[in-house]
């Protein structure tokens, strides 16, 4: 049985992990297994919908840049296009076969962690004085924004991590770390708003009043804890690489594989 405590706990997991390169969806799927929650269609929808609660934390912190700066808004819109198309095409496959699969998450966490470590060891950021360095959100080209959106679309696979995919894509193209992290945060807003809207249209009619109450609890929990995670991430990236997150992904994948499988 899915309870109010489960809703709050999953909201906590979502809020803390959404903006870290460790996959919030993957962690929620594993949490469902660890808490022995029955994997119903509502529980799958819950894992999608409460992500918007975490994303609202971005609007609280960045609404002026995102909504009042036309240059940034247009770049975010362009980056959203690939994810919107791919997400719509593969929505049924995602919800039917990928959401709820612990093995998919464990493999994605482990391989993604290894990739993060290798990438960070090989990646050399361009000096701020380099002509091709991208230091401002407004300096991201539309082509770069679209490619970032393609990177993000890979994250429809649970365990890949939306933030990790977009940030690595931006770093690969020479965008400054702090800049691509902010852009990744903003890109999450239309992405998760669309995912939530699509799922509500497809499944919302079957939810009971009690289930909508559980959604509200998870939504609020995710929002509160995401505010803390965003602030932590901003401070962390100023002095660190993502290698610790890569190590964490591998360790948690191994530990949970031994426990679950």
Q: How far apart are CA 245 and CA 6, in angstroms?
A: 26
Domain map (residue ranges) of the chain: 4-260
pTM of the model: 0.88
Residues 6+ apart with CB under 8 A from 112: 23, 159, 160, 161, 164, 246, 249
Whether 165 and 155 have beta carbons less than 8 Å apart is answered as yes
Q: How far apart are CA 156 and CA 160, in angstroms?
A: 8
CA dihedral sign of residues 18, 32, 113, 190: negative
In our burial notation (b when 16+ CB lie closer than 10 A, e otherwise), range 155-183 reads bbbbbbbbbbbbbbbbbebebbbebbbbb
| pLDDT (tens place) for every residue of the chain, 261 residues total | 899 999 999 999 999 998 899 999 889 989 998 999 998 999 999 999 999 999 888 888 888 888 889 999 999 999 999 989 998 888 888 877 777 788 899 999 999 999 999 999 998 776 655 555 688 999 999 999 999 999 999 988 888 999 999 999 999 999 988 899 999 989 999 998 888 998 999 899 999 999 999 999 999 999 999 998 888 887 887 678 899 999 999 999 999 899 876
Residues 6+ apart with CB under 8 A from 74: 142
Whether 175 and 183 have beta carbons less than 8 Å apart is answered as yes
């Amino acid at each position: 049985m899915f309870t109010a405590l489960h809703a709050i706990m999953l909201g906590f997991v979502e809020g803390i992990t959404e903006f870290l390169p460790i996959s919030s969806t993957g962690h929620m799927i594993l949490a469902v297994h660890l808490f022995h929650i029955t994997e119903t269609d509502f529980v799958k929808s819950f894992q999608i919908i409460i992500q918007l609660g975490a994303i609202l934390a971005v609007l609280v912190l960045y609404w002026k840049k995102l909504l009042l700066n036309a240059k940034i808004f247009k770049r975010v819109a362009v980056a959203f296009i690939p994810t919107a198309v791919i997400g719509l095409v593969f929505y049924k496959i995602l919800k039917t076969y990928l959401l709820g699969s612990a093995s998919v998450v464990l493999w994605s966490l482990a391989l993604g962690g290894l990739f993060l470590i290798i990438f960070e060891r090989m990646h050399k950021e361009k000096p701020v004085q380099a002509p091709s360095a991208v230091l401002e959100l407004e300096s991201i080209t539309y082509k770069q924004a679209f490619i970032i959106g393609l990177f993000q679309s890979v994250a429809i696979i649970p365990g890949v991590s939306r933030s990790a995919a977009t940030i690595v894509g931006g770093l690969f193209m020479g965008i400054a770390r702090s800049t691509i992290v902010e852009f990744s945060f903003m890109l999450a807003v239309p992405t998760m708003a669309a995912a939530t809207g699509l799922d509500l249209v497809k499944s919302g009619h079957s939810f009971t009043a009690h289930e909508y109450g559980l959604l509200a609890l998870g939504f609020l929990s995710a929002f509160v804890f995401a505010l803390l995670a965003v602030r932590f991430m901003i401070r962390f990236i100023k002095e660190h690489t993502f290698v610790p997150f890569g190590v964490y992904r591998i360790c948690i994948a191994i530990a949970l594989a031994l426990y679950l499988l």
